[in-house]
Amino acid sequence: MKNCRVQLLFTDKDMVIKILTVSIILLTVTGCQNGRQPKVGPSIQAETREAGHSYIAFTALTGQYWQIWTISSDGGNLKQITNSKMDKRFPTWSADHGAIYYSSTNGQLYCMNVAANEEKQIYASPERYESLIESPGGVYHVLVHFDSQRLDDADLWITAAGELNLKILLKDKGYQNAPSWSSDGNQLVYVDSTGYRTEEVCQLDIQSRRRIQLTNNNRTDMLPSYSPNDSRIVFVSDRTGDYEIWIMNSDGGNDKQLTESPGLDSFPCWSPDGNKIAFISGRSGELALWIMNADGSGQKQVTHGMQCMYSSWQRTFGK
Partner 1 sequence: MRNISIICSLIAILSINCYAQSELLQITRVSHSVKSISIPNNEDVIIRFNVNEACNCRVVFFDQLANQLRVFDIPNANSGPQEIRWDGLNYSGNPTQDEVVLYIIEATTSDGRNAVYNPADQTGGLSMKTLEYTFDRETEKIEYVLPKACKVRIRVGLKDGMFLGNIVDWEPQEAGRHQFIWEGTDSSKIFNVKNRKDLELQMTCYTLPDNTIIVNSRPSQQHISKPADLVNVKREKLWAIKGKDIHYQHDPRICHQPQFSITFPTAQKKDENQVCLSGIVPVRIDIAPEDFIQLVNARFEVMIFVDGIFIHEVEEGMSPFTYQFDTTNLLQGRHVLTVNILGYHDHIGVLSQQLIIGERQ
Interacting residues with partner 1 (CB under 8 A): 61, 64-66, 85-87, 89, 104-107, 128, 146, 149, 151-152, 154, 175, 177, 197, 220, 241-243, 262-264, 266, 282, 285, 287, 309
Q: By C-beta, is 250 or 259 nearer to partner 1?
A: 259
The least distance separating partner 1 from the CB of residue 6, rounded to whole angstroms, comes to 41
Question: What's 226-280 look like in SS3?
Answer: ECCCCCEEEEEECCCCCCEEEEEECCCCCCEECCCCCCCEEEEEECCCCCEEEEE
The least distance separating partner 1 from the CB of residue 178, rounded to whole angstroms, comes to 9
Give the whole-angstrom CA distance, residue 269 versus residue 294.
10
The least distance separating partner 1 from the CB of residue 235, rounded to whole angstroms, comes to 14
Element at 33 (helix H, strand E): helix 13-34
Q: By C-beta, is 264 or 289 nearer to partner 1?
A: 264
Question: Is-cis flag, bond preceding 39, omega within 30?
Answer: yes
Q: Is 313 exposed, middle or buried (0-12, 13-18, 19+ CB in 10 A)?
A: buried
The least distance separating partner 1 from the CB of residue 3, rounded to whole angstroms, comes to 42
The least distance separating partner 1 from the CB of residue 306, rounded to whole angstroms, comes to 13
Query: For residues 94 and 312, is the Cβ–Cβ distance under 8 A?
Result: no
Q: By C-beta, is 95 or 202 nearer to partner 1?
A: 202
Q: By C-beta, is 95 or 144 nearer to partner 1?
A: 144
Q: By C-beta, is 68 or 139 nearer to partner 1?
A: 68
Give the whole-angstrom CA distance, residue 43 versus residue 97.
9
Q: By C-beta, is 85 or 209 nearer to partner 1?
A: 85
Best CA proximity match to 122, nearest among 107, 136, 139, 137: 107
Q: By C-beta, is 5 or 197 nearer to partner 1?
A: 197
Give the whole-angstrom CA distance, residue 269 versus residue 160.
24
The least distance separating partner 1 from the CB of residue 57, rounded to whole angstroms, comes to 16
The least distance separating partner 1 from the CB of residue 51, rounded to whole angstroms, comes to 34
79, 177, 199, 307 from 117: Cα distances, Å: 12, 29, 37, 23
Phi-psi region of 318 (alpha: psi -120 to 50; beta: other; left: phi over 0): left
